[in-house]
Chain A
Amino acid sequence: MAVVKRPPFPVILVANDLVEGEVIFAAEHGWTRDVRAARVANDAEAAQALEQFGAAQARACKVVDAYLVDVEIEAGVPVPRHYRERLRTLGPSHRLDLGKQADFHL
C-alpha cells in the first residue's frame, strides 16, 4: 500500500460547508465553526479517522475540500502552524469585525 502523505501531528480536519461556504472543523461529533472545539488527532490512526470522516461527508454533500492541517496546541487550543490556515480559523486580518474572530471573540 502506498504511504499516505500527511502533515506532521497533531492535526485537525478543515473543510468548507457546501451550502454556506464557511470554514468548518471536524469536532468530536460532526462539525464546528469554532477552531477551539476542533477534534485534534495525535497519531496516524486518529488522522485517518478524520480523513475518512471528511471523505464521507464530502460524498454526502455536506462539505467541500476537506483536508488535514497541522497545528500546535497553545493553551489547550489548536493553532495552525501555517499563516494561511491560521487566517482561515479567524477571518480577514484587516476586518476584525468579520469572520470567526468577531463571532467567537478570538
Chain B
Amino acid sequence: MYAYDELDRQIVRERVAQFASQVERRLDGSLTEEEFRPLRLKNGVYLQLHAYMLRVAIPYGGLSSRQLRQLALIAEKYDRGYGHFTTRTNIQFNWPKLREIPAILGLLADVDMHAIQTSGNCIRNTTTDCFAGAAFDEIEDPRPTAEWIRQWSTLHPEFDWLGRKFKIAVTATQQDRAVLRGHDVGVRIVRNAAGETGYRLYVGGGLGRTPMEGKLVRDFLPRAELLGYLEAILRVYNLEGRRDNKFKARIKILVHEIGLEAFRAQVEAEYSKVVAAAPAPDLREFERITASFDAPDFADLPEVSRKLEQAQAADPDLAQFVARNLFRHKKKGYVALTISLKSIGGAPGDATAEQMRAVADLAEQFSFDQVRVSYKQNLVLPHVRRDDVPEIFAVLKAQGLATPNVDLITDIICCPGLDYCALATARSIPLAQTLSRHFADPDKQKEIGELSIKISGCINACAHHHIANIGILGLEKSGGESYQITIGGDPGDQYALGELLGPGLPASAVPEAIDRVIGVYLDARRQGETFIETYRRLGVTPFKAAFKEIADAVA
C-alpha cells in the first residue's frame, strides 16, 4: 500500500472541512441547490432515486484491512449495512443523510481515504489490474505509476473543471486486465528494445452512448516524461474538446472528429511547449512514491502445496474453488485469490459489513494486509500462500463468499440500475439475479466455460455492456422495461464492441434468448473453444437467427 505522508493527510482533512462548511451553508440556505450540486459532486455525493449516494474513492482498487473495516463501520453506522463495489473499483453507499456525510468523510480521512475524484468533470480515480504487484506476467507493479498520476491529477488547478469527466487506466502486462482501450487514456507499461521501461499510450477510448476504441497515440514514452505528456493530452482536450453538447464533450469525440493524426500533432506540439517551459523531468517523485509502497516480505516456498492438494482431494467444493478463483502469482508458493461478490441470486458487487470485516481479517492474517477491488466487481486477496487456501476457503464459505465462478457466466457485471440510479432507464440487478439463478448449475457453468455477461440499466454503460461477450442494455420501450442484447464484445487485447442481435426483449424473455445464443455456441464450438472464439469464427449471423425465434415469439 502507498503510505500517506503529512501533506496527503492535510489535503484530505482540509477537503473534509471545506465540504462540511459547504453542507452547512446549503442547509442554512446560503447556497442554492444549483450552487451546491457541483460542489457535492466534487465530493462524491449524488442524489439518487431513493436517497443520497456517497461514492468513496478506492485508488487503483487498493485497500488495507483497516480501511475495509472502516468501510464496514460506515455501512453499519451511517448506511443500511452494506456497500456496492463498482466497475470503477470504488464503493458506493446508497442511503447516507446529507447532514452526516461530513462525519463519514471524517471517518474516511482517519484511514487515509476520501471521495475526491469520484464524480464531477475532473480526472477520475485511476484504475489498474486487480492483480497488480502479484501477477506473474507483469513487467513491474503498475500501482506506483497509478499513484503518480493520482497525485498529479488530484486538485490539479488546470484540469479540475474539465468539459467532462476523464478516466485513466494503467496496466503492466501483455494481457490487458484493465480495459485500457475503453478509457480516455490507457497507459501500458512496456520495455523498449534497449530494455528501458516506459509507457505506451492509448487515447480516446470510452463506452457510454458513443462507444469508441482507444487509439495508439505514442508507442514508447520514456518514464520521466509521463506527466508532461499527459499534461499535453489534457491541455489539448481542455482547449479543443467540445463544450456545446455534454454528450459530445469527451475526448473520444475530439479524437474521432479531428482524426488521430491531427490530434497527435496537436499533442506533440503542445508537449514541446511543456518541455521548453519546464525543467528537465526527473524521476525523484516517482521514486519517492515507489518507495512509499511497502514491499511484502515474501517467504521462499515450494512451488507445490501438498497441504492444498490433499485438502482438494478431500473436498470437491474446494477443488472447484481452486480451479476457478486462483490466479498465478509471481512468487513461488503464492497465489492471488479472487473473492466473488457474485453469489447465486445475489446483487453483483454488494458486500455486507460483516463480509467486509471477514475479508479484512483474512487479508490481515493471510495477504500482507492487502485487498484489491476489481472492475469486475469482485475482491482479491493478492498475496496468499497456497498452503493457506483451505483455511481461507472455509471462512469465505461461512460468509457466503466462496462462489467458484470467476469469469464464468454467473460472474455478471451489473450497474445499480433503476433500483437505485436516477439516470437509469431500466432495472439491471433483478435481471442479473434471474440469470444467475438460471445458470446456477455448476456443471452447466463449467460446460459453457468462460463467458462474460454485463448488464447496464442505461446507455451510459457503467456495466461495460458494449464489451461483454453477452451485453445487456436496459431501456424504456412503450412505457415498460426492455432489454437489448449484444454479443461478441471483448474488453481486452482483442478489444471489440458487441453486435446487436435484434429488438429489445422484456426481462422475462431474456434467459431463453441467452439459452438460444449459448445453444448455437455449444453446437458449433470446436475443441477447447470459448464462446468468444466461436463467435469470432462464425460471425453474428447464426446467433441472430437463433435470437430471432425468441424475438418473433414475444413481438
Q: Which residues of A contact B (CB under 8 A)?
A: 16, 18-23, 58, 60-61, 64-65, 81-84, 87-88, 91-95, 98-99
Q: Which residue of A lies closest to B29 (CB)?
A: A61
CB distance from B344 to the nearest CB of A (A): 14
- Find chain B residues with CB under 8 A from A91 CB: 50
- Find chain A residues with CB under 8 A from B347 CB: 94-95
Q: Tell yes or no: B273 within 8 A of A by CB.
A: no
Q: Tell yes or no: B480 within 8 A of A by CB.
A: yes
Q: By the criterion CB–CB under 8 Å, are A19 and B33 in contact?
A: no
Determine, out of B95-103, B143-151, B155-163, B264-272, the stretch whose residues face the partner at the interface: B95-103
Q: Given contacts A20-B97, A22-B50, A22-B51, are A94 and B28 in contact (CB under 8 A)?
A: no
A88 contacts which of B28, B49, B99 (Cβ < 8 Å)? B49
Q: By the criterion CB–CB under 8 Å, are B419 and A19 in contact?
A: no
What CA separation (Å) do A64 and B29 show in the bound complex? 12
Q: By the criterion CB–CB under 8 Å, are B47 and A65 in contact?
A: yes
Q: By the criterion CB–CB under 8 Å, are A87 and B419 in contact?
A: yes
What CA separation (Å) do A28 and B522 show in the bound complex? 61
Q: Which residues of B contact A (CB under 8 A)?
A: 26-29, 33, 47-52, 80, 95-99, 347, 418-420, 427, 429-430, 433, 479-481
B420 contacts which of A18, A81, A82, A92 (Cβ < 8 Å)? A92
A83 contacts which of B51, B99, B480 (Cβ < 8 Å)? B480
Q: Which residue of A lies closest to B481 (CB)?
A: A83
Q: By the criterion CB–CB under 8 Å, are A21 and B418 in contact?
A: no
B97 contacts which of A19, A84, A95 (Cβ < 8 Å)? A19
A94 contacts which of B80, B99, B430 (Cβ < 8 Å)? B430
| New A-B contacts (13) at CB < 8 Å, excluding given A20-B51, A20-B97 | A16-B51, A18-B27, A19-B27, A21-B48, A21-B52, A23-B49, A23-B51, A61-B28, A64-B33, A64-B47, A83-B480, A87-B418, A87-B419
Q: By the criterion CB–CB under 8 Å, are A16 and B419 in contact?
A: no
- Find chain A residues with CB under 8 A from B419 CB: 87, 92-95
- Find chain B residues with CB under 8 A from A21 CB: 47-48, 50-52, 95-98
Q: By the criterion CB–CB under 8 Å, are A61 and B98 in contact?
A: no
- Find chain B residues with CB under 8 A from A22 CB: 50-51
Q: By the criterion CB–CB under 8 Å, are B98 and A18 in contact?
A: yes
Q: Which residue of B lies closest to A91 (CB)?
A: B50
Q: By the criterion CB–CB under 8 Å, are A61 and B47 in contact?
A: no
- Find chain B residues with CB under 8 A from A20 CB: 51, 97-98
Q: By the criterion CB–CB under 8 Å, are B50 and A84 in contact?
A: no
Q: Given contacts A18-B98, A93-B430, are A23 and B50 in contact (CB under 8 A)?
A: yes
What CA separation (Å) do A106 and B530 show in the bound complex? 46
Q: By the criterion CB–CB under 8 Å, are B430 and A61 in contact?
A: no
CB distance from B423 to the nearest CB of A (A): 11
- Find chain B residues with CB under 8 A from A65 CB: 33, 47
CB distance from B448 to the nearest CB of A (A): 24
Q: By the criterion CB–CB under 8 Å, are B427 and A93 in contact?
A: yes
